[in-house]
Amino acid sequence: MSFASDLLATIDAARAIPGTLGLRPYRVFLVEGYWEGAYTGDGEAADFETELLVGGQPPKVRFLTSEQLALGGVPEGTCTVGPLTPSHTGGGVAASSLEGTSLAAGNTLHVRLLHSDGSEAFYRVTKVDKQKALRIMLTCEPVAGPERVI
């Protein structure tokens, strides 16, 4: 094991502190959409959700400023989720689950943000930044209701 991988459990616990104090108003879910039939479009559409957690608490969600939106050429409502702690013994998030590399053909992957006031919105993951050894960051763009349907 490297020094960085030895630190992951401690870093995960430290990242959970704002959530423990109630400072993270959004819960974040990874939503895999699939069809219950044998083929895409066959049978009923269904979802499977996994909550993304950092040390057992919701991760940080930050909406881009108007300047960042203009410079980045991304739609209004774009947000970043993270830092998420990479997989380690006892926790973390697997980068492959965020990238959708294990999805079956025809399945979809979205992020659902659930605010503490009960409102929710769906997002498409546009970037999974895993260039740093101790964190994973997601960039997510909002999707319209019909696009979210499988």
Show the domain range for 108: 3-148
State how far the Cα of 30 lies from the Cα of 21, in Å rounded to an integer: 23
Q: How confident is the model at residue 69 (pLDDT cuts 50, 70, 90)?
A: confident
What pLDDT is stored for residue 150 in this prediction? 36
Q: Please check whether residue 13 is in contact with residue 52, taking contact to mean a CB–CB distance below 8 angstroms.
A: no
State how far the Cα of 108 lies from the Cα of 100, in Å rounded to an integer: 8
**Which residues make Cβ contacts (< 8 Å) with residue 115, sequence separation at least 6?**
25, 26
Q: How confident is the model at residue 92 (pLDDT cuts 50, 70, 90)?
A: confident
Q: State the average pLDDT over residues 60-73.
A: 90
What pLDDT is stored for residue 114 in this prediction? 95
- The DSSP H or E segment spanning 35 is strand 26-35
pLDDT digits (tens, 9 = 90+) for 16-33: 999 999 999 999 999 998
Q: Is the pTM above the cut of 0.85?
A: yes
Structural domains counted in the chain: 1
